[in-house]
Amino acid sequence: MITIVVGTNRPESRARRVADLYARLLAEHGVEAQILDLLELPADFTTSALYNNAGRHDEFNALASLAASAEKLVFIVPEYNCSFPGVLKAFIDGLPYPAGLGHKKAALVGLSSGSQGGLLPLNHLTDVLMYLGTAVLPQRVRLPFIDKHLNADGELTEPFYQQLLREQVEYLLRF
């Protein structure tokens, strides 16, 4: 199973639209995917589901099990202040170590409203994932100026971006 992680808990996020698009691209290859949307995290999860409370929060555990059941993951990562969203880091920190993400494979897609397409967030997340024992697909996709190229229906209007995602899907399926 491939799990697509929406790397923010922002309502109506661009990351969710790209995650839905990615799921459709996988479906074109006959591959089923599930979406792990951080919007579904309990608002108080950093105090009710982590550290001394690990394993005691049913809502958090349901999302953690989506990550645990994945053979491969796709992280759709918006850029927040030159890094990835803190909610994604807190979610990763709440997963069992090292079993939560260890011995898995991951593809990364960065989004930004600026010109770098999430380069720094992807670098930071790659470091974290590799520390946890997750193999990261070298073909990382960066989508700069996402506001100009992603419509409200979740379609990318830039053909090059479409090509990059399609190529990454093919690499991920062989990874």
Name the H helices within the chain: 14-28, 45-48, 58-68, 86-94, 119-131, 146-149, 159-174
Beta carbons within 8 Å of 19's beta carbon, 6+ residues apart? 4, 5, 6, 35, 37, 74, 76
Task: Identify the pLDDT of residue 101.
Answer: 94
pLDDT of 146 above 90: yes
User: Phi/psi of residue 34, each to 5°?
Assistant: -120, 150
Task: Identify the pLDDT of residue 22.
Answer: 98
Reported pTM: 0.96
**Gyration radius of the chain over CA positions:** 15
Task: Identify the pLDDT of residue 80.
Answer: 94
Task: Identify the pLDDT of residue 52.
Answer: 81
Give me the mean pLDDT over the 143-163 stretch: 95
Cα–Cα distance list, 174 to 29, 51, 57, 107, 137 (Å): 12, 36, 35, 12, 10
Split at pLDDT 50, 70, 90, the class of 151 is very high
Nearest C-alpha neighbor of 110 from the set 28, 5, 12: 5
Total domains, the chain? 1
Give me the mean pLDDT over the 148-156 stretch: 94
Q: Mind listing the pLDDT tens digit for each residue in 30-84?
A: 999 999 999 999 998 998 888 887 888 889 999 999 999 999 999 999 999 999 9
Nearest C-alpha neighbor of 104 from the set 16, 7, 2: 2
By residue count, the chain amounts to 175
Tokens describing residue 65? 């099990």
Give me the mean pLDDT over the 149-153 stretch: 94
Question: Domain range spanning residue 99?
Answer: 2-174
Distance CA 69, CA 84 (A): 23
Give me the mean pLDDT over the 152-174 stretch: 96
Q: Mind listing the pLDDT tens digit for each residue in 94-134?
A: 998 878 899 999 999 999 999 999 999 999 999 999 999 99
Give me the mean pLDDT over the 149-166 stretch: 95
Split at pLDDT 50, 70, 90, the class of 14 is very high
Contact 6, 76 (CB under 8 A): yes
CATH of the domain at 111: 3.40.50.360
